[in-house]
Amino acid sequence: MDQAEATEKIVTALKKKKGKTKFYFNDLCKILGEKPRPAKKLINKMIIDEVLEYWSSGSTTLYSLKGVGKQAAAEHED
């Protein structure tokens, strides 16, 4: 799977998930239909390209579309 196809799949799938903005790595692997190692490379590229962003609670790392969710809305108010 090439990067453009992976990005399109992730963006489309995450936008369809109403009410949910943060996703586990395994959720993204399932969307891509890839095993963890190849999926990690595609997901990391999306973070570098600012399509996705990390969110961490300290013990868990989640992923979200850049600029989506409560955290992003709070940051844009300033």
CA distance 32 to 29: 5
Q: Over the stretch 1-55, which tens digit does the pLDDT of each residue have? A: 899 999 999 999 999 988 889 999 999 999 999 999 999 999 999 999 999 999 9
CB neighbours of residue 45 within 10 Å: 14
Q: How far is CA 48 from CA 18, 41, 43, 58, in A?
A: 25, 11, 9, 21
> What is the model's pLDDT at position 40?
95
- Domains of the chain from N-terminus onward: 3-77 (1.10.10.10)
